[in-house]
Structure 1
Amino acid sequence: MGLRWTDTLDIAIELYEAHPDVDPQWVRFTDLHAWVCALENFSDDPTKSTEGLLEGIQMAWIDEAR
């Protein structure tokens, strides 16, 4: 089974590895949504994301990048 929207930390780690030169603090939610959906291990319904989920992923990615 692949990643789901609620797998915040795992998604953040994969985003950090996929986009090492990106400062996650400045990523727009539309780009973040597209990048999460493009992850090889992501298998959740793209329409199930919410602003809160995306914010949580972004915050975890910021922590991972530190």
Structure 2
Amino acid sequence: MSLKWVDVQEIAIQLVDSRPGVDPRFVNFVDLHQWVLALPEFNDDPRHGGEKVLEAIQAAWIEEAD
């Protein structure tokens, strides 16, 4: 499976698994962008990871973490 920026929910699930000690409420977007790019299944243009999509990923991550 190849992850794209539109796969917000699956990205959030993988972040929960790969960053277990991280509270997503306090993650800055620079780190979040890098962490998404580092996910093994992620394969999309890094330039498409703008503020809106990062906000959506962060919100989904917060939901998954709860």
Q: So what's the TM-score if we normalise by structure 2?
A: 0.97
One-letter amino acid of the structure 2 residue matched with residue 65 of structure 1: A
In structure 1, stretches of 5+ residues that fail to align are none
Q: Give the equivalent residue in structure 1 for 2:38.
A: 38
Q: Give the equivalent residue in structure 2 for 1:63.
A: 63
Query: What does 1:1-66 align with in structure 2 at a 5 Å threshold?
Result: 1-66=1-66
Structure 1: which 4+ aligned runs deviate by more than 4 Å?
A: none
In structure 2, stretches of 5+ residues that fail to align are none
Aligned-partner Cα distance in 1 for 2:61–2:48: 20
- CA-based RMSD of the aligned residues comes to 0.7
Aligned-partner Cα distance in 2 for 1:25–1:16: 12
Q: How far did 1:50 drift?
A: 1.1
Other structure's SS at 1:34 match:
helix
Q: How many corresponding residue pairs?
A: 66
Q: How far did 1:28 drift?
A: 0.2
Identity value in percent: 53
